[in-house]
Chain A
Amino acid sequence: MSAVAIPSRAGSLRTLASTDHKRIAGSACVIAFVFFLAGGLLALLMRSQLAADGGVVSQNAYNELFTMHGSTMVYLVIVPVALAVGLYFVPLQVGAAEIAGPRVALAGFWLYVLGGVCMWSGFLTSGGAASASWWGFDPLSDSVHSPGGGMDLWIFGVMLVTLGQILWGGCILATALRRRAPGMTLMRMPVFTWTMVATCTMTVFGFPALILALGLLWAQRHLGGVLTGGAGAVDYQALFWFYGHPVVYVMFFPFVGMVGEIIATFSARRFFGYSAFIVALLIFSGLSMTVWAHHMFTFGVLSNKYFALTSTALVVPAGIEYFDFLATIWRGSLRFTTAFLFALGFLVQFLIGGLTGIILASPPLDYGLNMSYFVVAHFHYTIFAGSAFGLFGGIYYWFPKITGVMLRERLGKLNFWLMVIGANLTFFPMFFLGAEGMVRRVARYPASSGWQGLNILSTVGSVVIALSVLVFAVNVVISLRRRRPAGDDPWGAHTLEWATSSPPPRHNFVALPPIRSYAPLLDLREAAERHSATEVSVTAAGVLG
């Protein structure tokens, strides 16, 4: 390995040049957390602006704030984290010693870092960072309406990270399909691994459309004549949303998988309805490629009814997933750990995001709600109050495996409750603002509208979220300083990553247990229970005899 040649004092550099999927994923998560803090800071600035009804920053600066907030959270936080968690755990869950294509995975990591730096360096240009929203749509993003280097840096940044994400998706998919341990059939892969298979399939097939769209946008800016007039504007958005809708589920499925693992573990019960769940997942990802133009209902140029039909059809697979979650909890023996609480938070809050999504999938309603704060509330309920809660659940669940030490439960619960209060206080008022007609991306609203009260409420909520994140950071620091060793399997979990040391060795496993179902460790415990039960009855029979 080339990393060996690097002098030993450059330990961090060795980490960054390692082809160990666990190190790559770990570094990516740390960097994503830094971007999460940066994107969150932008959100706090936006909330201050709206609480004060203008006056904190100019409209141009405000446009940069929400553009970079959205771009950071989507391209640099949720999507990379979703894939990085897969990069870490899919090889472990399928009993592989290594990721497929370790150097490709490392290249993906560097593309991510470079792209992120590239996008953020827009703030250093004289014209400021990109300001044409996270979907950078033409013609607002062309050279006439968005001149300057910030927009170009954004285009290159997004292209680089997206390319990196496609590479990661390919590696994870290949690992799940080609590197499984003996006995690990497809229908014995853990729920989380299955959600990653669906995620990476969408990544590999959907994400190239974004690179194409951005390539055309770049050509339009520098050569011209590519995206012209109304057709150009429609083409760009159709390409963008062909990426943009699958990406919504890339930001959702992995967290569904995490929540599934957490619920099964802390209900001490095999995941319910495994095969129905996987069929639902595959239908879900298939449908995800057919719904993109529900983002374009108000263009009035595409077949709204078709997209309303496919979008509403998502009710069926989503409903099956919820059924399986509830049925796993049903007749379980529950342990209310922080991870489990976050999983429950995901279930309840994502439901609000999902149900309002069905409302938005109806064109007669969307005509009145599109581009309003109703939409902002809806997707923050899915991505923040949903996926980010799943992610925090995943962190509390897997932190012991990754670091070898437990996170503090009491601080964890404080972290959870603050985040519940913060998220709902921030995003629920936005449903009312949107239904009353407050449109998104405005730096000021008419004083006569009476929207300031709800906006202040929302801003207070965002401060509570910030507090919650601070509690999380404190928890991580304390837990790493005063270590409480986790052992191999602190939770009594079901899947193979818990059958090795914490953290796992370079090549993941010393020995693998037999794999006869999607919960091999639960199989072992149940077999041991049966065994001791037999012994007891034999002894009892002996005594009585």
Chain B
Amino acid sequence: MPNTKHAYEHVWGIYLPIAIVVFAIVVGTLVVLLGVGARRSRPDRRSKALPLEIGYAFVLACVAAFLVWVTFRAETPIDRLVARPGLRIKVIAAQWSWRFIYSNGVQVADIDTWHPTPAYVPTGTEIEFSGTSEDVIHGFFLPELHYQRQVLPGYTTHFDLIFEKPGLYQGECSVLCGEDHSEMHFAVEAVSPAPFQEWLAREGTRIREGSSAQTAGATARGPST
């Protein structure tokens, strides 16, 4: 399961305590040495302990190897694309807004970026996003999922995400993109699969019937849950 939130929380839960312990050991040692050294009048003459340093370097290398192992294990599933995603969504960024296009042609386009119209997604489903940009580099960033991917002009980048809990996910552009970089927000709302499918089908029908096709998504009412 390409669950970015779990991967982040898992790795964070290992890295942060180690960082805090290392910080405490170094600063604690330093404080003790300073206390002792302030009272000493004759400094020690020894200036090397190579076997000790080699042993210490070996311990450091083991810690580094452990960290790399934790990272690789967590990264592999979130970098991999699943063969059959439950849904495919195209994301198109342009200065300074986002568009989401579903495979049946339904579009969600944001006009007011401070209160963006949410793009609906089903919960618990592997969704493959294909991101690209029409001008400069933008960053598709969903802080709650702890995930971002830069989208480039003239190149399509693919990534999988899972939204486990229903609710509104605020998104923002994480890469400096010019004048309105601060205001390039978007929103994704996760709902249960059944109402989502209903919404997608209804919006799809609306487009096929040609009723205000171009702004279908922007004016669409949400799924009824």
Known contacts A362-B71, A367-B146, A368-B4; is-contact A316 B40 (Cβ 8 Å): no
**Which residues in B have their C-beta under 8 angstroms from that of A315?**
60, 63-64, 67
**Which residues in A have their C-beta under 8 angstroms from that of B72?**
305, 308
Chain A residue nearest to B95 in the complex (CB) = A145
Known contacts A300-B157, A436-B143; is-contact A140 B64 (Cβ 8 Å): no
Most buried by B among A137, A228, A312, A365: A365
Q: Which of A106-114, A148-156, A175-183, A350-358 contacts B (4 or more CB under 8 A)?
A: A350-358
Q: Which of A209-217, A245-253, A330-338, A466-474 contacts B (4 or more CB under 8 A)?
A: A330-338
Assess whether B75 is in contact with A364, with CB atoms less than 8 Å apart: yes
Is B182 close to A, CB under 8 A?
Answer: yes
Rounded to whole Å, the gap between the CB of B186 and the closest CB of chain A is: 13
Distance, CA A341 to CA B144, complexed state (A) = 41
**Which residues in B have their C-beta under 8 angstroms from that of A193?**
none
Assess whether B143 is in contact with A368, with CB atoms less than 8 Å apart: yes
Known contacts A322-B26, A329-B34; is-contact A368 B147 (Cβ 8 Å): yes
- Chain A contributes a number of interface residues (CB within 8 A of B) equal to 84
Chain B residue nearest to A233 in the complex (CB) = B152
Distance, CA A531 to CA B147, complexed state (A) = 68
Q: Which of B48-56, B188-196, B212-220 contacts A (4 or more CB under 8 A)?
A: B48-56
Assess whether B53 is in contact with A276, with CB atoms less than 8 Å apart: yes
Assess whether A326 is in contact with B180, with CB atoms less than 8 Å apart: no
**Residues 19 to 58 of chain A near chain B (Cβ within 8 Å):** 54
**Which residues in A have their C-beta under 8 angstroms from that of B135?**
139, 144-145
Assess whether B40 is in contact with A351, with CB atoms less than 8 Å apart: no
Chain A residue nearest to B78 in the complex (CB) = A364
Most buried by A among B22, B42, B50, B114: B22
Assess whether A313 is in contact with B41, with CB atoms less than 8 Å apart: no
Is B29 close to A, CB under 8 A?
Answer: yes
Assess whether A133 is in contact with B176, with CB atoms less than 8 Å apart: yes
**Which residues in A have their C-beta under 8 angstroms from that of B153?**
139, 229-230, 233
Known contacts A229-B155, A270-B47, A273-B49; is-contact A320 B56 (Cβ 8 Å): yes
Chain B residue nearest to A234 in the complex (CB) = B152
Is B37 close to A, CB under 8 A?
Answer: yes
Known contacts A348-B30, A362-B15, A364-B75; is-contact A445 B182 (Cβ 8 Å): yes
Chain A residue nearest to B10 in the complex (CB) = A364
The residue that B11 contacts in the complex, of A233, A300, A365, A439, with Cβ under 8 A, is: A365
Known contacts A298-B139, A322-B26, A355-B19; is-contact A59 B181 (Cβ 8 Å): yes
Known contacts A364-B4, A437-B172; is-contact A298 B182 (Cβ 8 Å): no
**Residues 123 to 152 of chain B near chain A (Cβ within 8 Å):** 135-137, 139, 141, 143-150, 152
**Which residues in A have their C-beta under 8 angstroms from that of B179?**
59-60, 63
**Which residues in A have their C-beta under 8 angstroms from that of B37?**
267, 329-334
Is B45 close to A, CB under 8 A?
Answer: yes
Assess whether A268 is in contact with B67, with CB atoms less than 8 Å apart: no
Assess whether A308 is in contact with B12, with CB atoms less than 8 Å apart: no
Is B91 close to A, CB under 8 A?
Answer: no
**Which residues in B have their C-beta under 8 angstroms from that of A231?**
154-155
Distance, CA A140 to CA B75, complexed state (A) = 30
Assess whether B50 is in contact with A276, with CB atoms less than 8 Å apart: yes
Is A103 close to B, CB under 8 A?
Answer: no
Distance, CA A312 to CA B65, complexed state (A) = 8
Rounded to whole Å, the gap between the CB of B149 and the closest CB of chain A is: 6
12 examples of A-B residue contacts, CB within 8 angstroms: A63-B176, A145-B135, A231-B154, A298-B174, A299-B157, A300-B157, A316-B64, A331-B43, A365-B12, A365-B15, A439-B141, A444-B183
Assess whether A344 is in contact with B64, with CB atoms less than 8 Å apart: no
Rounded to whole Å, the gap between the CB of A325 and the closest CB of chain B is: 9
Assess whether A312 is in contact with B71, with CB atoms less than 8 Å apart: yes
Is A372 close to B, CB under 8 A?
Answer: yes
Rounded to whole Å, the gap between the CB of B78 and the closest CB of chain A is: 6
Known contacts A273-B48, A442-B181; is-contact A336 B56 (Cβ 8 Å): no
Distance, CA A28 to CA B181, complexed state (A) = 36
Distance, CA A360 to CA B48, complexed state (A) = 33
Distance, CA A317 to CA B184, complexed state (A) = 41
Most buried by A among B34, B50, B72, B182: B182
Assess whether B176 is in contact with A145, with CB atoms less than 8 Å apart: no
Assess whether B71 is in contact with A229, with CB atoms less than 8 Å apart: no
Assess whether A344 is in contact with B38, with CB atoms less than 8 Å apart: no
Assess whether A269 is in contact with B43, with CB atoms less than 8 Å apart: yes
Assess whether A437 is in contact with B143, with CB atoms less than 8 Å apart: yes
Chain A residue nearest to B74 in the complex (CB) = A364
Distance, CA A131 to CA B176, complexed state (A) = 10
Binary flags per residue of B164-203, CB closer than 8 Å to A gives 1, else 0: 0000001011111111111101000000000000000000
Assess whether B174 is in contact with A304, with CB atoms less than 8 Å apart: no
Assess whether B30 is in contact with A140, with CB atoms less than 8 Å apart: no
Is B16 close to A, CB under 8 A?
Answer: yes
Is A359 close to B, CB under 8 A?
Answer: yes
Is B68 close to A, CB under 8 A?
Answer: yes
Assess whether A308 is in contact with B75, with CB atoms less than 8 Å apart: yes
Assess whether B180 is in contact with A323, with CB atoms less than 8 Å apart: no
**Which residues in A have their C-beta under 8 angstroms from that of B147?**
367-368
